[in-house]
Amino acid sequence: MKNLNFFEIKSKSKILNDLVSIKDNNDPFVDYFNFDVKFVSPDVINKDPFLCALNKSHRFNAAILRINQNSIYNWHIDDNRGVSVNMLIDGGASHCIFTNEQYAVVNNIQELKYEPKTYYALNVQNYHSVINFEKPRYMFSLEFDEDKNILTFDQLIKEMHG
């Protein structure tokens, strides 16, 4: 398997409605590494068999990330995370793009088109960018305790393939 940008996880989410409720409740979003976030508690995570099992093998914190309308999250590689697992909760027109090349004036890109209730493992050590248009965009995202030096994208998807 050669430098994939992302990988679709087969187990569909059982907690989308819970996440929508958290997104819409009155608790404020807090500032965390350039994102507005709400953290998601373990009792919600444990309702989802896939996440519950994953959290036992690789402990994580889970959060809802908000990106404002008409904004761009520019090309970057994550500082600490080797891999992330994401699911789109709500949004309007937006694009999440990856390249598995070195950053250059022109790059080939691959778009991650989020399907409903679907988790994706993301290779966040490849360059990626998000451009978001007329509505705020809400993403469910995991941050593993193990950083890029310990848990890589390749290792996680190898474990998932069994």
CB of 19 to Fe ion, least distance (A): 19
Give the residue, chosen from 16, 23, 66, 78, that forms a contact with Fe ion under the rule CB under 5 A.
Answer: 78
Residue among 63 and 124 whose Cβ is closer to Fe ion? 124
Q: For the chain, what is the radius of gyration of the CA atoms?
A: 15
CB of 47 to Fe ion, least distance (A): 26
**Do residues 86 and 139 make contact, with C-beta atoms less than 8 angstroms apart?**
yes
- DSSP-derived letter for residue 114 is P
Is there binding between residue 143 and Fe ion (CB under 5 A)? Answer: no
Residue among 11 and 125 whose Cβ is closer to Fe ion? 125
Q: Tell me, residue by residue from 97 to 136, as one string, x for binding to Fe ion by CB under 5 A and - for no binding.
A: ---------------------------x------------
- Sorted by sequence, the CB contacts under 8 Å of residue 60 that are 6+ apart come out as 54, 85, 142, 143, 144, 145
Residue among 29 and 35 whose Cβ is closer to Fe ion? 35
Q: Which strands, in side-by-side order, build the sheet including 137-144?
A: 6-12, 118-122, 84-90, 137-144, 60-67, 35-40, 30-32
The footprint of Fe ion (CB under 5 A) covers 78, 124
